[in-house]
Amino acid sequence: MSELLGLFPTPVVRKKWEDSTKYNSDMTNLFYSLENSFKNDKNSDLTNNYFTSYNKTLDKPLIEYNEMYPFVNFLSNSIKELNQFMNFDGTKTLKIRDMWFAINRKGSYHETHNHSPAIWSGVYYVQATENDAKLNFYSPTTSNNHWANNVINNFNDFTTNQASFTPETGMLNIFPGWLNHSVSQQQAEQDRIAISFNVV
């Protein structure tokens, strides 16, 4: 075989928070409390099965609640490590611009989207099991043109147009803001609770 180059790889970081069991319950209680205080505006099958603080005017930004401080510190350190690995300009300060939580109940899902122009985006699982809805990423090189799909026997890293990850409590995922992603429909009865964020 000639030299095979994996050009333009997409960085996706996955990291387990060692202190997750210590702080996840506090964040879970906070989220349920906020859900009760800031109800969904619309009444439909989707909103009944899904709650998010995204675009809601809470009494203060989610990142400022005391229960969030340990996680925000962990996230900030993780982003700093990633920026150093990527050899980003250390004189330019990147900050967490947005942070919100989502409670996915049976039947809910997230359609394909991205968070451009954020530098980094990501999701952390406060409460999740292997039976919960997966996080799906879509290849920027094949999602729009279906290159060679009709001749591929088995997909690999060079030919697949989608990668799916099973959620896990305490797992952090960081990825470029331009990367298209979605959440499959939640089939399990339990709540899938996640924190999402953008870094600029």
Q: What is the pLDDT of residue 142?
A: 64
Residues 91-121 have pLDDT tens digits of 888 999 999 999 999 999 999 999 999 999 9
- Considering only CA atoms, give the Rg of the chain: 18
Instruction: Please return the burial class of 36, using the count of CB atoms within 10 Å of its CB with bins 0-12, 13-18 and 19+.
Output: exposed
What CATH number should be reported for the domain whose range is 16-199?
2.60.120.620
Distance (Å, rounded) from C-alpha 94 to C-alpha 199? 6
Residues 117-176 have pLDDT tens digits of 999 999 999 999 999 999 999 988 765 666 777 788 888 888 888 899 999 999 999 999
Tell me if residue 47 falls in helix, strand or coil.
helix
Tell me if residue 127 falls in helix, strand or coil.
strand
Q: What is the pLDDT of residue 42?
A: 65
Domain boundaries, the chain: 16-199
DSSP code for 168:
-
Answer for the pair 95, 200: CB distance below 8 angstroms, yes or no: yes
Distance (Å, rounded) from C-alpha 170 to C-alpha 18? 8
